[in-house]
Structure 1
Amino acid sequence: MTMSIDVSEEAASVIRVTVAGELTTVTVNGLRTAVAGAIGGRPRAVIVDLDRVTFLDSSGIGSLIAGRHLADAHALEYRVVNARDHVRWVLNVSGVWSYLAGDDPD
């Protein structure tokens, strides 16, 4: 299982964490570390982009929710965007998409 993560500043004080590959038990620690690092920099917002994620399991969902909880604890905006196909379906069926996506209509 492979996963890659790119962390970049998208705009003033907005950090985008772009994930590619499979988000599973084996790979979630990378996402948790990236999100915690981004939040530790005290941006205004953290955006987790799932456009290139091809699969996620319950551990992946848990890591996305943990990121949201961490951001909430620091009073930062946190949104998950661009979930596609199977990934979007899993997040919808599990009932967490609207919680993670915030106001993003994607």
Structure 2
Amino acid sequence: MNLEIDVVDEKAKSVVHLSGEVDVYTATKLKDNLLPLTYEKDHLVEVDLESITYMDSTGLGVFISALKSTNEHDSKLKLVNIQDRVLRLFNITGLDEIMDIEGIRGENS
């Protein structure tokens, strides 16, 4: 179970490119890298999920924690390029209603 995390910092934005799987084995690594980015006021954290091949409920928990942190620190979280199979988890749990998700990718994109 591998997860690659590449963070590109810009002036008021951090772009987090993820590749691999977000699950019980990799969630702590993601949380440790993602949450500190949400601590800066008016900072946008954009997470690119295009190369995520699998995500479980533990991964969803990391994004819930990040969303809570953005609310506490007056920053923003956006998920982009999310694959259909991963988006289904957000749909089933209703998280798609409270998270900023754009650039949805189809299975054959």
Shorter-chain TM range is 0.7 to 0.9
1:23-102 equivalences under 5 Å are 23-40=22-39, 42=41, 44-101=43-100
**Alpha-carbon distance between aligned partners in 2 of 1:54 and 1:76, rounded to the nearest angstrom:** 27
**Alpha-carbon distance between aligned partners in 1 of 2:25 and 2:72, rounded to the nearest angstrom:** 26
Q: SS of the residue aligned with 1:50?
A: strand
When the two structures are superposed, what TM-score results if normalisation uses the length of structure 1? 0.86
Identify the residue that residue 8 of structure 1 maps to in structure 2: 8
Q: One-letter code of the match for 2:15? A: R
Give the ranges of 4+ consecutive aligned residues of structure 1 lying more than 6 Å apart after TM superposition: none
**Alpha-carbon distance between aligned partners in 2 of 1:30 and 1:42, rounded to the nearest angstrom:** 23
Instruction: Give the deviation of 1:32 after TM superposition.
Output: 0.6
Q: SS of the residue aligned with 2:99?
A: helix
| Equivalent residues of 2:27, 2:58 under 8 A apart | yes
Aligned residues: 104
| Equivalent residues of 2:42, 2:74 under 8 A apart | no
**Alpha-carbon distance between aligned partners in 2 of 1:70 and 1:4, rounded to the nearest angstrom:** 22
Same amino acid, percent of matched pairs:
25
Q: One-letter code of the match for 1:12? A: K
Q: One-letter code of the match for 2:43? A: R
Q: One-letter code of the match for 1:6? A: D
Decide which moves more: 52-61 or 92-101: 92-101
Instruction: Give the deviation of 1:52 after TM superposition.
Output: 0.6
Q: What's the Cα RMSD here?
A: 1.7
